Chains A and B, each alone.
Chain A
Amino acid sequence: MSEIELQHVHKVFGPDRDRSLALLREGRTRDDVARETGGVAAVIDANLTIERGEVFVVMGLSGSGKSTLVRMINRLLEPSSGRVIVGGTDITDLGPKELRELRSARISMVFQHFALLPHRTVLDNAAWGLEAAKVPAGERRERARDALATVGLADREGAYPGELSGGMQQRVGLARALATDADILLMDEAFSALDPLIRREMQDQLLDLQEALGKTIVFITHDLNEAMRIGDRIAVMKDGRIVQVGTAEDILQDPANDYVASFVQDVDRSRVLTASSVMEPPVATLGPQEGPRAAMRLMREHQLSGIYAVGPHRRLRGAVLDDAATSAARSGMQIDEILVRDFPRVAPDAPLVELFAPAAVSPIPLAVVDDDERLLGVIPRVTLLAALAGDNGTNSKADADG
Chain B
Amino acid sequence: MADLPRVPVGRWVDSTVDWLTEHLDLVFDVISDVLKWLTDQLESLLLWPPALVLVALLAAFAWWIRGRWFAVFTALAFALVESMELWEATMSSLSLVAVASVVAISVGVPVGIAAARNDVVSRVVRPALDFMQTMPSFVYLIPAIVFFGLGEVPGVVATVVFAMPPSVRLTELGIRQVDPEVVEAGHAFGSPPLQILTRIQVPLAMSTIMAGVNQVIMLALSMVVIAGIVGAGGVGSVVFGGITRLDVGRGFEGGLAIVVLAIFLDRTTSAVSERAARRTATS
Contacts and interface: CB of A to CB of B under 8 A. Distances in A.
Interface of A: 74, 76, 99-105, 108-109, 111-113, 115-119, 128-129, 131-133, 161-162, 176, 180, 186
A132 B182 CA distance: 14
A162 to B, nearest CB: 5
Interface in B234-279: 279
A176 B279 CA distance: 20
A128 B279 CA distance: 18
B282 interface: yes
B117 interface: no
Interface in B169-202: 179, 181-182, 184-192, 195, 199-200
17 contacts: A100-B190, A100-B191, A103-B187, A103-B188, A104-B189, A108-B189, A111-B184, A115-B179, A115-B185, A118-B279, A129-B190, A131-B191, A132-B189, A132-B192, A162-B283, A176-B189, A180-B189
B280 interface: yes
Nearest to B188: A109
B91 to A, nearest CB: 35
A116 B179 CA distance: 10
B190 A102 contact: yes
B182 A119 contact: no
Contacts of A132: 186, 189-192, 195
Contacts of A101: 190
B203 A103 contact: no
Contacts of B190: 99-105, 129, 132-133
Interface of B: 179, 181-182, 184-192, 195, 199-200, 203-204, 279-283
Contacts of B184: 76, 111, 115
B245 to A, nearest CB: 53
A209 B184 CA distance: 25
Given A100-B190, A132-B191, A132-B192, A119 B280 contact: yes
Nearest to B283: A162
B117 to A, nearest CB: 16
A92 to B, nearest CB: 17
Contacts of A100: 190-192
A305 B179 CA distance: 63
Nearest to B193: A96
B89 to A, nearest CB: 40
Contact of A119 (B192, B204, B283): B204
B188 to A, nearest CB: 4
A118 B281 contact: yes
A76 B282 CA distance: 24
A161 B185 CA distance: 15
A209 to B, nearest CB: 19
B282 A162 contact: yes
Contact of B204 (A74, A109, A112, A118): A118
B189 A129 contact: yes
Contacts of A119: 203-204, 279-280
A111 B189 CA distance: 12
Contacts of B186: 128, 132
Max count, chain A CB within 10 A of own CB: residue among B190, B192, B195, B280: B190
A162 B192 CA distance: 26
B189 A109 contact: yes
A118 B190 CA distance: 19
B182 A117 contact: yes
Contact of B280 (A74, A118, A129): A118
B185 A109 contact: yes
Contact of A76 (B187, B204, B279, B281): B187
B203 A115 contact: no
A216 to B, nearest CB: 16
A103 to B, nearest CB: 4
B187 A118 contact: no
Contacts of B188: 74, 76, 103, 108-109, 111, 186
Given A76-B187, A100-B191, A131-B199, 17 more contacts: A76-B188, A104-B191, A108-B189, A112-B181, A113-B179, A115-B181, A115-B185, A117-B199, A117-B200, A118-B204, A118-B279, A118-B280, A118-B281, A118-B282, A128-B189, A131-B191, A132-B189
Given A104-B189, A109-B188, A162 B281 contact: yes
Nearest to A163: B283
A202 B32 CA distance: 64
A137 to B, nearest CB: 14
Contacts of A102: 190
A131 B283 CA distance: 25
Nearest to B203: A119
A127 B203 CA distance: 17
Contacts of A105: 190
Contacts of B192: 100, 132
A116 B189 CA distance: 12
A7 to B, nearest CB: 23
